[in-house]
Structure 1
Amino acid sequence: MIFVTVGSQKFQFDRLIKAVDALVASGAAESGAFAQTGACTYMPQHMRHEAFLDREAFRVRMDACDVVVTHGGTGAIIGAVKDGKKVIAVPRRARYGEHVDDHQTEIVRQFGEMGLIEPCMDPADLPAAYARALSKDYLPYKSNTARFCADLVEYIDSLGGDR
Structure 2
Amino acid sequence: MIFITVGSQKFQFNRLLKAVDELVANGEIAEEVFAQSGVCDYVPAHYEYKPFLNRDEFESMMDKASIVITHGGTGAIISAIKDGKKVIAVPRLKKYGEHVDDHQLQLISEFTKSNFISSCENLSELGKCLKELEKKEFAIYQSNTEKYLDSIIKYIDKEVN
**TM-score when normalising by structure 1:** 0.90
Q: Matched residue of 2:88: which SS?
A: strand
1:162 and 2:159 aligned:
yes
> Which residue is equivalent to 2:103?
103
1:27 and 2:24 aligned:
no
Q: Matched residue of 2:129: which SS?
A: helix
**Whole-angstrom distance in 2 between the partners of 1:146 and 1:59:** 22
> Which residue is equivalent to 1:68?
68
> Which residue is equivalent to 1:130?
130
The code of the aligned residue for 1:52 comes to F
**TM-score when normalising by structure 2:** 0.91
> Which residue is equivalent to 1:120?
120
Give the gaps of 5 or more residues in structure 1: none
Identity fraction in percent: 48
- CA contact 1:38–1:51 (8 Å) conserved in 2: yes
Give the gaps of 5 or more residues in structure 2: none
Q: Matched residue of 1:98: which SS?
A: coil
> Which residue is equivalent to 1:142?
142
Tell me how far 1:30 sits from its aligned partner: 1.7
- CA contact 1:2–1:29 (8 Å) conserved in 2: no
> Which residue is equivalent to 1:50?
50
**Whole-angstrom distance in 1 between the partners of 2:142 and 2:58:** 23
Q: Matched residue of 2:159: which SS?
A: coil
Post-superposition Cα deviations, 1:101-158, rounded to whole Å, max 9, x if no partner, equal: 111000011101100001111222211111111221111111123444566678x69x
